[in-house]
Structure 1
């Protein structure tokens, strides 16, 4: 491999490590066979790698490819014990409906992250370290050389501010409704 291919490989390896389990859960909710779900996820990453020069790498693309692979699997195996006697169109319609709800949730998430960009610098930094980097309050406090209480206060401030923003935009109830109906 040349340097560029090695860099691509590292990016895709990280993507695989970061998304494998959640993608398996996503597929398993449609194809209730864990081995088949794992195979579909693996096929998804192979397809993504094979087409790496054609598309911009995003989580949306990753889940879209996985969804299409699941639909292909359902169509190819609709006479199996899992789907016996149920029209395959019902399953593909369910997949599409769920994908639309996930798209709405993605849009709301994007709105939240845009709002996070407007938070005061220290509050924003702590919130991102907490939610995006998944650091514990103690780890954030050590990294920023502040107290754990200060970290907790900034996270509370950020969450309160985000909650107010969502209420003002009429999105708070929408988030609750969507999360209730998503698997």
Structure 2
């Protein structure tokens, strides 16, 4: 039995040890993931803690089969989007807007890593400058203006480069992997 299955089993038995193990294994990676969206450590920590509390109090673990990691990342992602939308009064696209990323399509750890590797493999095929811009905006959460100033290019060049990179990736990745890319990156 893998660690995630063991944790789920403990949680389903009502054992708080399961919650402790869940926290120990996933807290730090989830906070780092949340930081991609909210950019503040305290907010990221609050979001992850809230996800854990709701996961325990609402007994959400009962519905989670084998894809604990994917479930937690999706929950943190959605909480981050809700936090941004509430705190910044701007529309953020939620994962449900991606349509085809259904609840039953949660990925387990190996599928998650495989999708990431496919994405990074395609990103490495992009021209070096395009890679630099794409990674800065989508994975380092830098603003277009910030990237433009750092690279001494116009904001429009950054936007055009990102748009072209997304088209290339959409054409080179299978549909499910491209939807996964949309899920893990911030909203453009």
After TM superposition, the score normalised by the length of structure 2 is 0.46
Larger relative contact order (C-alpha < 8 A, sep ≥ 6)? 2
After TM superposition, the score normalised by the length of structure 1 is 0.47
